[in-house]
C-alpha cells in the first residue's frame, strides 16, 4: 500500500498564491459578505493563509482571522492567528464567527465527518453569519492534466458530487455561484507544480507516473498554458 503524502504545495508559488488571484478572490468574497472591522473570520484548511491575510491587511479587522490546518507549512502569514489542529476538534470550542470559509477542503472529509463539520460550523455562526464552501467545478473542468492525472481527478470530482448532495441535504437553504479565474502560466512553471504535487489527485502517484505525466504535458501544451480555473461556491446564511 502506498504511503499517503500530505498536500503542501497547493498555495505555494502557484496561481492560487498570486496577488492577482487573491485580489480577485477577495473581491468575489465581498459580493457575498459585508466586510467591516468587527467581522470575525475562520478559515478551515487555510494552507499558508494567503486569503485571510489579505483580508486582514485590507480591512484591519479588530479580531485577527483564524486559520486552521492539519499541516503547518513554511510561509504561513504572520498577521493572522494560525492553529495546527483538526477542524472537528477546533469547532468544539464555543467561539462564533461571521464568516466560515471552507476552500478546496471538503474532499479530505469522509461522508460522516463532513456532516459533523457542517453541523459544527452552523453552531459556530453568529446571527446573519455565513458559511462559504468552495470546491472545484465537477463538470467540464479545465485544469491541464496528463492521462492518469485526469483519471484520478475525474474520480475525485465524482466523489465531490456525492459530497455536494450531503451539503445540500444538511444545510438546505443554500445558493450556488461560480468563481472564475483566468490562468496564464508558463509550461515550465506548471511542470514544477506537478513535480511538487500541487493537487490532491497527484499525491499518491509514483515518481514514475509523475515523470511520464510531465513528458505528456511537455508534448501536449505550448510554452504558455491558458485555462479558466472555476470553483463552485456554496453559500449558507444563518
Q: Domain holding 85: CATH number?
A: 3.40.50.150
196-212 average pLDDT score: 95
**Is 80 exceeded by the pLDDT of residue 86?**
yes
**Is 80 exceeded by the pLDDT of residue 21?**
yes
Name the domain count of the chain.
1
Please tell me the distance from the alpha carbon of residue 172 to that of residue 174, in angstroms, as a whole number.
6
Does a structural domain hold residue 102?
yes
Report the pLDDT value the prediction gives residue 5, as an integer from 0 to 100: 60
Edge-first strand order for the sheet with 81-84 is: 81-84, 66-69, 41-44, 97-103, 125-136, 224-237, 174-186
Does a structural domain hold residue 217?
no
**Is 50 exceeded by the pLDDT of residue 100?**
yes
Does a structural domain hold residue 195?
no
Range(s) of the domain holding residue 82: 15-185+229-237
Does a structural domain hold residue 207?
no
Q: Is 2 exposed, middle or buried (0-12, 13-18, 19+ CB in 10 A)?
A: exposed
Residue-averaged pLDDT of the chain: 94
Amino acid at each position: 500500500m502506498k504511503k499517503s503524502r500530505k498536500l503542501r504545495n497547493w498555495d505555494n508559488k502557484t496561481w492560487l498564491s498570486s496577488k492577482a488571484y487573491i485580489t480577485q478572490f477577495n473581491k468575489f468574497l465581498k459580493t457575498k459578505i459585508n466586510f467591516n472591522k468587527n467581522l470575525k473570520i475562520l478559515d478551515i484548511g487555510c494552507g499558508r493563509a494567503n486569503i485571510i491575510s489579505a483580508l486582514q491587511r485590507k480591512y484591519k479587522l479588530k479580531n485577527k482571522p483564524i486559520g486552521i490546518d492539519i499541516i503547518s507549512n513554511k510561509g504561513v502569514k504572520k498577521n493572522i492567528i494560525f492553529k495546527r489542529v483538526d477542524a472537528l476538534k477546533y469547532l468544539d470550542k464555543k467561539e462564533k464567527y461571521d464568516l466560515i470559509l471552507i476552500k478546496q477542503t471538503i474532499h479530505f472529509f469522509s461522508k460522516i465527518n463532513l456532516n459533523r463539520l457542517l453541523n459544527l460550523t452552523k453552531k459556530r455562526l453568529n446571527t446573519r453569519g455565513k458559511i462559504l464552501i468552495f470546491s472545484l467545478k465537477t463538470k467540464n473542468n479545465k485544469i491541464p492534466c496528463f492521462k492518469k492525472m485526469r483519471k484520478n481527478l475525474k474520480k475525485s470530482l465524482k466523489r465531490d458530487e456525492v459530497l455536494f448532495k450531503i451539503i445540500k441535504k444538511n444545510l438546505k437553504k443554500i445558493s450556488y455561484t461560480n468563481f472564475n479565474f483566468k490562468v496564464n502560466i508558463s509550461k515550465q512553471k506548471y511542470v514544477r507544480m506537478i513535480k511538487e504535487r500541487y493537487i490532491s489527485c497527484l499525491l499518491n502517484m509514483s515518481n514514475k507516473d509523475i515523470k511520464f505525466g510531465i513528458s505528456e504535458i511537455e508534448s501536449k501544451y505550448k510554452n504558455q498554458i491558458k485555462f479558466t480555473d472555476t470553483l463552485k461556491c456554496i453559500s449558507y446564511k444563518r
